[in-house]
Amino acid sequence: MRLITAHSSRAAGRERLPWCPRALAGVAKATFGTSDVLKVAFATPLATGPWELIHSGAGVASCPQGGRKVLATEGRGADDHGVKSGEWARDPEGLYQHSRGGVITVARLTELGVPSRTCYRRCRPGKQWRRLLPGVLMLNSGEPTRRQLVDAALLYAGPDAVVTGAASCRRHGLKMLPDGTFRVHLLVPLEHKVGSSGHVIVERTTRLPQAVMFSGVPLAPLVRSVLDECRRLGSRQEVSALLAEAVQRGAPLLELFAELDAGSSRGTAIPREALHRIADGARSAAEVDAMKVWRMSGLPEPLWNHELRDENGEYIATADGYFVSAGMAWEVDSYDFHFGKQQYAATVARNARYAAAGIVVLQTLPSRLRTEPKRVAAELVAAYRAAEARMRRAA
């Protein structure tokens, strides 16, 4: 606050003083106002006689010395001076307890006694809080976590919102999701008027699913979440990888097809093609690529995901592809696409059973199916010819 006097010869000296009435000898101070608006007035006696106003503005207050009226002006509030005012300022932890992990709406803060303009003032650059979405802020100025971004999205969209898409797929445990800017895809009832904003994609729907609660977050079921994400992916490889992982984790193919048919037709061409390939027997994205390489080879079509047993009915393995005429199994083995590291020993045991049964095995890394399809096709042909010749000699 600047001190103003009618005597210019004394103004400069007074303006160098700190904003504190105690630093001004002979200055009378009058204050009044509400919890968020501070009104302050100062008056000082002139050397020649009566008191003179040295700070002017809107409003009138009584000067405690001399009994005369002086004008008052609106001073800086609690945020600018560091002076706490109001119950909320005296109990900041109480605000946090009313939030979702530090995320809260301006409407809720207003109910707790925080003026709305104070909320927005505290979200300015360099201030204590951070605005995340319209009407939603974070009670600190740091970088929000993914969970805080999800909570902010739910507070923004309202209590009926359901998380779907990539954010939901991650919470369902899926990993085959593309990297990129974190977005929260929400489903809301058709009659809601809220729109997309910031990191939030809002989709109004007549088919709002029954939410599955996970750590306080309402998620769309796995099938719906996966297909909502697939509709927004433009890469066949990404769609195939995500759908294959979902199937491997237990998403029923019939439910996936039913959801695809029930929803919007927009963006369904690639997911539908990938689902048909999976239904034909491709249980992973790598096996979809394997089918493409097989078509390049010109060999007879193998039995996909075929279960093999020996003469005694003992289980040998389920080959990704089995060429009956050559007695050859083709395995597309990868930690990323097919199994976890803990199953490495099981893979070694599987290969031992193949050898004991006299079955030739060709193992291929899935990355080579995409980066070297012609070379892999040539290796497949060579292995097939060798296995076929071996069978003829054995006969």
Secondary structure (DSSP) of 213-271: EETTEEE--HHHHHHHHHTT---HHHHHHHHHHHHHTT--HHHHHHHHHHS-STT-HHH
| Helix, strand, coil fractions of the chain, as percent rounded to 5 | 40, 20, 40
The arithmetic mean of pLDDT across residues 182-199, rounded, is 95
In this structure, of 101-110, 184-193, 258-267, the range with the lowest mean pLDDT score is 258-267
What mean pLDDT value characterizes the chain?
79
Structure-model confidence comparison of residues 249 and 387, the more confident one = 387
Pairwise CA distance, residues 284 & 295, whole Å: 17
Instruction: Look at residue 70 and tell me whether its pLDDT is greater than 80.
Output: no
Residue with tokens 């509030």: 77
pLDDT at 178: 87
- Out of 28-32, 250-254, 341-345, 369-373, which region has the weakest mean confidence (pLDDT)? 28-32
Which is higher by pLDDT, 40 or 362?
362
What is the predicted pLDDT for the residue at 285? 74
- Which amino acid, residue 149? L
**Residue 79 to residue 88: CA distance in whole angstroms:** 12
pLDDT at 152 over 50: yes
Give the mean pLDDT of 149-160.
Answer: 96
Which is higher by pLDDT, 189 or 87?
189
Q: Is the pLDDT of residue 280 over 50?
A: yes
353: CB partners within 8 A, 6+ apart: 316, 317
Token representation of residue 231: 């509709």
pLDDT score for 278: 84
Mean predicted confidence (pLDDT) in 169-181:
91
Taking the whole predicted model, whether its pTM rises above 0.85 is answered as no
Residues 6+ apart with CB under 8 A from 280: 291, 304
CA distances in angstroms from 144 to 53, 96, 217, 383, listed in the order given: 49, 15, 17, 54
| pLDDT surpasses 50 at 390 | yes
**How much is the average pLDDT of 137-143?**
94
Give percent of the chain with pLDDT exceeding 90.
52
Between residues 180 and 27, the one the model is more confident about: 180
Strands 328-332, 360-364: pairing is parallel
What b/e string do you get for 60-81 counting C-beta neighbours within 10 Å, with b at 16 or more? ebebeeeeeebbbbebebebee
